[in-house]
Amino acid sequence: MENLVSFQELDVLGEGLVKDYAKKVHRSNAMCLDIEGFITDYLGLSITYEDIAEEDKSKIGFLSDGKSPLLVTRNKVETFVTFPKWTIVIERFLTRDSESAKKRFTLAHEAAHAILAKHIPLQAGGCFQNEFDNTIPYSKEDIKRMFSLNEACANRLGAAILMPEYRMDRALKKYNDDNKVLCYGGVFPQQEKLLIRKMANALGVSVSAMANRLKELKLLNNQPLDQYIREELRFGGDEM
């Protein structure tokens, strides 16, 4: 199946949604998005935290279709629970302070699935089991590709929600005098690493998510790696 939406479109959509929400809650100057408020008050979804007991331990977030049960542990007993449709279920351990960035991105990712289900239902219907169009003869390859596309799109839209371009620009202006982040062939000098950490903390995301977003939005000042090796590290030259 061909992707029905571009990453650039998702960037625009995510930023538009965040701006509209910020306007409604009168927090247009905020750097860090209230992701829980955005999900519950703006998107109209529910959030609940559970001890997810699925065999796939990477499943730390789940958007319910109202039909598919999720295995959770309650009172030390594993049980299947079918949550109401449009409920986001998040692994409880993510409520720890140390997991804040991961929790926020997981919430944004699942919220993105809900948005995509309305924006491109023909493709994103795959995020809800049993809701494929019965008139379309999906092959196993189609289904596999659909899930892969949906995950990639949810990741990009989730990033656009937490790190919309206008807030990234605002962070660069505040922490780097409105300059792009210096990078040498994928290698960041220590000072740039500290800068990325400041920006990540300000927007409530992980350092890796911030670095990836800077790359996506072309906010890196890329220079040749050998320039860093010769001029900054001073290796391989006449003077060591």
Residue where a domain stops, chosen among 119, 134, 162: 162
Question: What pLDDT is attached to residue 133?
Answer: 46
- The pLDDT value given to residue 56: 83
Answer yes or no: is 115 within a domain. yes
Is 33 in contact with 162 (CB distance < 8 Å)?
yes
Per-residue model confidence as pLDDT tens digits over 176-223: 999 999 999 999 999 999 999 999 999 999 999 999 999 999 999 999
CA angle 14, 174, 103 (to 5 degrees): 45
Say if CB 14 and CB 160 are below 8 A apart: yes
Q: What local confidence, expressed as pLDDT, does residue 42 receive?
A: 98
Residues 104, 72 share a domain? yes
| Rounded average pLDDT over 46-54 | 96
- Mean of the pLDDT values across residues 21-38? 95
pLDDT for 146: 56
The parent domain of residue 225 ranges over: 166-232
Q: Is residue 237 part of a domain?
A: no
Residues 6+ positions from 148 with CB-CB distance below 8 Å:
none
User: Measured in Å, how far apart are the chain's first and last C-alpha atoms?
Assistant: 55
The number of residues making up the chain comes to 240
* Domain co-membership, 145 together with 27: yes
Structure confidence by residue, pLDDT tens digits, 137-185: 555 665 565 568 888 999 999 999 999 999 999 999 999 999 999 999 9
The pLDDT-based confidence of 32 (bands split at 50, 70, 90) is very high
Write down which residue in 111, 144, 162 finishes a domain. Answer: 162
Question: What residues are paired with 74 via a beta bridge?
Answer: 77
Per-residue pLDDT tens over the stretch 99-148:
999 999 999 999 999 999 999 988 776 443 333 444 555 556 655 655 68
Residue 156 shares a structural domain with residue 170? no
pLDDT mean across residues, the chain: 90
